[in-house]
Amino acid sequence: MLISKKLINMNIQADNKNGIIDQLAILANADSRLNDLDAFRQAVYDREAEVSTSLGYSVAVPHGKTDAVREPFVCFAKSTKGVMWNNQLVHLVFMIGVPLDAEGNDYLNILANIARNIMDEEFRDDLFKTTDKNQVINIINNGEREG
């Protein structure tokens, strides 16, 4: 399973993008998805430095493909107040981690599903409104089955 309740923070308190990346990486590490917390964080920071992962619609999708990942995952966080992410205010964050040796298509499929879903206003609204982690998983999984 790519996402679980352990990988969700419904009211993240970080006030910048690196703080959100750090907190979500800690969740992934606590759920045994990482081999090396610091190496994963650095991979995400490096990717973010290349091109911002803020996709518009108040959503960011930081990600890393590295040997520091043991098992593919998606973390989700909601920031009620929002965080500036390279000149865009972001409220919803999906952080993706994939092992370096994972099939290229797996990584691209995860990114494509999320990118496609965030363009759907109902998908975003449902995530904004819910406070229930099980509902977040249902929204994300149902969105991935569509399209």
Task: Yes or no: say if 83 and 89 are a contact pair by the CB < 8 Å rule.
Answer: yes
Task: Yes or no: say if 6 and 30 are a contact pair by the CB < 8 Å rule.
Answer: yes
Task: Yes or no: say if 24 and 14 are a contact pair by the CB < 8 Å rule.
Answer: no
**From the CA atom positions of the chain, what is the Rg in Å?**
14
Residue 91 catalytic? no
The catalytic residue among 17, 33, 41, 63 is 63
Q: Which residues pair with 34 in a beta bridge?
A: 69
DSSP 8-state class, residue 102 = S
Contacts 24+ apart (CB under 8 A), 40-48: 40/64, 40/66, 40/68, 40/69, 40/97, 43/68, 44/95, 44/97, 45/18, 45/21, 48/17, 48/21
Residues marked as catalytic: 63
